[in-house]
Structures are given as C-alpha cells and as structure tokens.
Amino acid sequence: MPEKSYDHKQVEMKWYERWGAEDLYRAEENSARPKFYVLEMLPYPSGALHIGHIRNYAIGDALARYKWMRGFNVLHPMGWDAFGLPAENAAIANQRPPREWTQSNIAKMKATHRRFQFSYDWNREVTTCEPDYYRWNQWFFLKMLERGIAYRKKALVNWCPQCGTVLANEQVVNGCCWRHETTQVEQRALEQWFFRITQYADELLADTAQLEGNWPERVLTMQRNWIGRSEGTEVDFHSEFGPIRVFTTRVDTIYGATCVRAPSRWWMRAPTKIQATSKKTASSPASTRSIHTAASVCPSGWRTSC
C-alpha cells in the first residue's frame, strides 16, 4: 500500500473554510441556554502574534469550547487594545500615520488569529481606537465626572523622556523605562486625572465575602489587603509649614509622638518654603484631632518635622 503523508496545510485549510462558513461560534442573542462569557485580554496590535499569544489564547479557547460542549450559549469575543501613545510612537518611528499603521497591524494579526481557529465570535470584534468603542469610555467617564468620582489634581508621576509619557510603577525597572532600558525615569509634577475608587472600598470589601469558598483564601487575602481598609483617626499636627494631617490606627499612643515624617511629594505642596531649623520642643497635644508641634526639617527625600 503506498504511503500517504499527512498534509496538515490541506487539512487545516479544509476545516478553516468549513468552520468559517458555518459561523460556528456565534453567540445567540435570544437563547434559552444558560449564558457564559469568556473574555481574554485583547492583544495590542504591535504587528505580529507570537507564541506567547497562542499560549495565552489557547487557555480561553479551551474553556469556551468546554462550555459550548456543556450546552452553554457562549459569548467569546475578540478585539484589539489599539488606543494609546505606544501606537502613536511606533507610527512615528515607522513614519506612517498612526491610523494606517494600527489598521494594517490589525489586518495582519487578525489573519494569523483566524488561522489559530480559536472559537471567537468575530461578529463582535472590537477595536478600542474606533469611535464605536471609545464613545462608551467617554460616556462612562462623563458619568463619573458628573458624580464627582473623576477629578484632577497635581501629583508626582514617573515620566520617561524618551516615550514622552507617564509610566505605571510596574513599568519602571531598576529606575529605568521598561521600553528604554537605559533611560532614567524622572519624577514630574503633572496635573492628573484621578478616580475616587476609595469611595467603593467598603462595598468591595463586603462583596469579597461572596467569593469565599470559590476563590483561594490566599487570593482573597491579597484582594482585601489591596483594598486596604483600615479604621483609625486623622490627626492634624500644626507646624510652621501649615497643618500636617496624619492617619493613625493607634490614636491612644499619639501623646508619645515626637516626629512627623512625610514623603517629598507632601513638602512640594507645603504652603511655606521649607527651611531647616534646629528648634525642638515636646509636643503638647490639645486634643486627639489637633496636636501642636514646632517643626524642624531634615534635608532628605523624606522630611521629618519634630
């Protein structure tokens, strides 16, 4: 009998075309079946999918297929995390308009993604730099602004002079930018948008109880520590630089306080210019809300008022 070799390209193409034509993974809008939503982190359209993407998306694909086979109406969309300065910088470096650059990357990556044969409903593809997607971000933002949850204030941020953008703490590696390994990250005081997420701390904390038994205790503890609720008292220390507000969980020990240490970002905002003095007096607490001290300052990153 003549040997026939396995032509994987031919076999793959046959099923690629057949599954595509049958629109196999479309989520049904009105279905009596139980719903299940699988969402993986959307890839950033940098130009090519790599083996790391396959590993990552194979996990979501396995879960979605398992749920399909168990009779669920699975919603498994895919899309592109395509909005932001890295895309713009890449376009500048490649001397292409950002829109054209991003769209051509998406087209290339989508063609590869489709060959993976993952179980996506491509009818629900989203591209975050398109108005039909980001109009909803804007809508959410305006709702938060209306309700005082979004606000602006000046704050110190990590700034990469080469990216020309702000970096998250996680993007600073050994004091340098994660993309520019020899570029020192600077601290810059910039007007920033903030979200008052602490407003939801109590609610979040209470709701972690619903996850008990389903989530590992270690993860729940991490979440609770991250929410970081702590009950205590705010105390104003009066100094020649203005009041210094501190938070303590042990206000009963405040009478023993002799020093206040604050990060350099507080001193930057201090109303009076800081001058080092050697004056030192014992604190004379007036009440638990208001304790008077004289101030002296140690000229280091963290300043001390004694």
> Would you tell me how many other CB atoms lie within 10 Å of the CB of residue 194?
11
Between residues 128 and 162, which has the closer beta carbon with respect to Zn ion?
Answer: 162
Q: What is d(CA 120, CA 112) in angstroms, rounded to the nearest whole number?
A: 13
Task: Outline where 23-97 has alpha helix (H).
Answer: 51-69, 85-93
- CA distance linking residue 302 with residue 298, whole number of Å: 8
> CB 181 → Zn ion: shortest distance, Å?
9
Q: How far is the CB of 160 from Zn ion (least distance, A)?
A: 3
Q: How far is the CB of 93 from Zn ion (least distance, A)?
A: 12
Report the nearest approach of Zn ion to the CB of residue 45 (Å).
19
Q: Residue 230: in which H helix or E strand, if any?
A: none
Q: How far is CA 249 from the centre of its chain?
A: 29
Nearest to 46 by CA among 84, 73, 72, 20: 84
For residue 21, how many other CB atoms are within 10 A of its CB?
A: 8
| Closest approach of Zn ion to the CB of residue 156, in Å | 18
Closer to Zn ion by Cβ: residue 180 or 229: 180
Task: Let me know: does 184 contact 175? Beta carbons within 8 Å.
Answer: yes
* b (16+ CB within 10 A) / e for 219-255: ebeeeeeebeeeeeeebbbebbbeebebeeeeeeebe
If the CB atoms of residues 162 and 288 are measured against Zn ion, the closer one turns out to be 162
CB of 110 to Zn ion, least distance (A): 28
CB-nearer residue toward Zn ion: 38 or 177: 177
Between 74 and 163, name the residue whose CB sits nearer to Zn ion.
163
- What is the binding site for Zn ion (CB under 5 A)? 160, 162-163, 177, 179-180
| 266: amino acid identity, one letter | W
Name the residue nearer to Zn ion (CB basis): 32 or 168.
Answer: 168
